Amino acid sequence: MSNRAPSNILDRPLGGRGRGNSNTTETFVSQSMFAYLYSELVQYHQSRVSSISELERRLESSGYGVGLKVLELLSYRARESKRETRLMNILQFVSANVWKSLFGKPADSLERSIDHADEFMIVDYEPLTSTYVSVPSDLGQLSVDAFLSGIIAGVLDGAGFSARVTAHSVTLEDGERGSASGGGGGGSNNGGFAHQHTGGASSLPLRKDKAVFLVKFNPEVLKRDSSLDR
Amino acid sequence: MSSSQVLLFVIVGKNEPLYEAEFHKSGTTGSSDSVTRQNYFVLHSALDLVEKAAWTTNQMYLKVIDKVNQQQVSTYLTAGNIKFMLLHGGRSEDSIKNFFNDVYELYVKLSMNPFYKYDTPITAKSFDTRVRAVARRYLG
């Protein structure tokens, strides 16, 4: 059954059309392929920029387009014909649904900043983009997770909640270890990128930091959201 | 007045219309210039109402949001806040809902194209053919 005739993109099935078990509609991409492709992406941009912030900005704009499409695709696949209109709901959507469909597990935590009412943090202990990247000391504060912050910004912007999203690496405290690295199991395929962890014997050194995505919403978004509370 | 014969369907992005199509009942000829322009005017003036209604509900299908003379404007909002608007002379809610759902599916598939930039005019001929086919199926 190899129908290789080129089909129009508008004719191909999108998946999630109430086929009973929605797990069967997911496709998998090998993690090593993603790692290679992503490293090429970073190198491509690195050869064309002259500063760290420029590189981060380019990675962000690469992720932005992905975010917009992921938003539409996931909302369609959820088949509920509902959009998110509240701030907390869209953040839940990002940290649970988007993360789950891209990485196979929801984000490790979603926090609200105490000092600023418009800041939220999404934490991931093992972001895929920086797992295979080591940043040399002369590039200092560069975070290659800028790609992921671009994805988050794309999702939020598309839904009408414009925000500035930045990626930060925060050192892990003692004993603070996400369940991500041990929970992979032997090739459990439940997400977009198949994990090949074999128990705890990962060949990579344990990470010393977690990725924190700081989401700062624009003031009019908060105004609109609080006016909906009444 | 052949207002129930002509349907105007517009996809509006954040700043500009992305796609426009007029559907005629089979057998009738195209409408005159002034009718077309009036239809556009009615539809675009309903945009403010869409903006207002957008944040009050989390449904995608907003039903009829404006009634002018004999014509009604129905709207559907995608997850990315792209507005699908249909100007019609009174069709059943169900057929319009099905029409919007099918066009939404086509829109999501189109946005999966890496060469299609979000919020830009849609120029693909195949999209146009398929939208018209959907319109013929659900709107007569």
Amino acid at B84: F
Chain A residues with CB-CB distance to B60 below 8 A: 81-83
pLDDT at position A197: 41
Chain B residues with CB-CB distance to A160 below 8 A: 54, 81
Whether the Cβ atoms of residue A10 and residue B106 lie closer than 8 Å to each other: yes
Least confident stretch, A138-142, A225-229, B2-6: B2-6
Paired tokens of B91: 């069709």
Chain A residues with CB-CB distance to B105 below 8 A: 14, 76
pLDDT at position A3: 54
Which of A9, A65, A84 is the closest to B118 by Cβ? A65
Give the CA diameter of chain B: 44
Taking all residues of chain A, what is their mean pLDDT, rounded to a whole number?
Answer: 79
Question: DSSP secondary structure string, B81-132?
Answer: -PEEEEEES---HHHHHHHHHHHHHHHHHHHTSTTSPTTS----HHHHHHHH
pLDDT at position B29: 62
B90 confidence band (pLDDT: 50, 70, 90): confident
Q: Which residue has the higher pLDDT, A149 or A198?
A: A149
- Is residue A95 over pLDDT 80? yes
Chain A residues with CB-CB distance to B130 below 8 A: 10
Residue of A nearest to B115 (CA): A65
Highest mean pLDDT among A58-67, A139-148, B26-35, B42-51: A58-67
Distance to chain A for B10, nearest Cα, Å: 19
Instruction: Indicate the DSSP class of residue A172.
Output: P
Whether the Cβ atoms of residue A208 and residue A171 lie closer than 8 Å to each other: yes
Instruction: Report the percent of chain A where pLDDT is more than 70.
Output: 79
Highest mean pLDDT among A114-123, A166-175, B17-26: A114-123
Distance to chain B for A21, nearest Cα, Å: 20
Whether the Cβ atoms of residue A34 and residue A127 lie closer than 8 Å to each other: no
Contact check, Cβ <8 Å, B127/A10: yes
B128 confidence band (pLDDT: 50, 70, 90): very high
- How many of the other CB atoms lie within 10 Å of CB of A212? 20
Contact check, Cβ <8 Å, B54/A10: no
Whether the Cβ atoms of residue B65 and residue B53 lie closer than 8 Å to each other: yes
Contact check, Cβ <8 Å, B113/A9: yes
Whether the Cβ atoms of residue A133 and residue A35 lie closer than 8 Å to each other: no
A179 confidence band (pLDDT: 50, 70, 90): very low
- Is residue A192 over pLDDT 90? no
Contact check, Cβ <8 Å, B81/A160: yes
Least confident stretch, A11-15, A202-206, A224-228, B122-126: A202-206
Helix (H, G, I), strand (E, B) or coil at B41: helix
How many contacts (CB atoms, under 8 Å) link A and B? 78
Residue of A nearest to B112 (CA): A69
What is the model's pTM? 0.83
- In sequence order, which residues have a C-beta less than 8 Å from that of residue A103 and are 6 or more positions away? A128, A191, A192, A193
- Is residue A64 over pLDDT 90? yes
Paired tokens of B131: 């939208």
Instruction: Report the percent of chain B where pLDDT is more than 90.
Output: 21
Residue of B nearest to A156 (CA): B80
Which of B61, B81, B106 is the closest to A10 by Cβ? B106
Whether the Cβ atoms of residue A83 and residue B80 lie closer than 8 Å to each other: no
Contact status of B123 with chain A (Cβ, < 8 Å): no
A67 confidence band (pLDDT: 50, 70, 90): very high
Give the DSSP H/E element, type plus range, for residue A210.
strand A209-217
- Is residue A202 over pLDDT 70? no
Instruction: Report the percent of chain A where pLDDT is more than 90.
Output: 20
- Sign, CA dihedral B4-B7-B8-B10, equals positive
Residue of A nearest to B130 (CA): A10
Distance to chain B for A52, nearest Cα, Å: 26
pLDDT at position A85: 85
A83 confidence band (pLDDT: 50, 70, 90): confident
Give the DSSP H/E element, type plus range, for residue A111.
strand A109-112
Chain B residues with CB-CB distance to A27 below 8 A: none
- How many of the other CB atoms lie within 10 Å of CB of A99? 23
pLDDT at position A150: 93
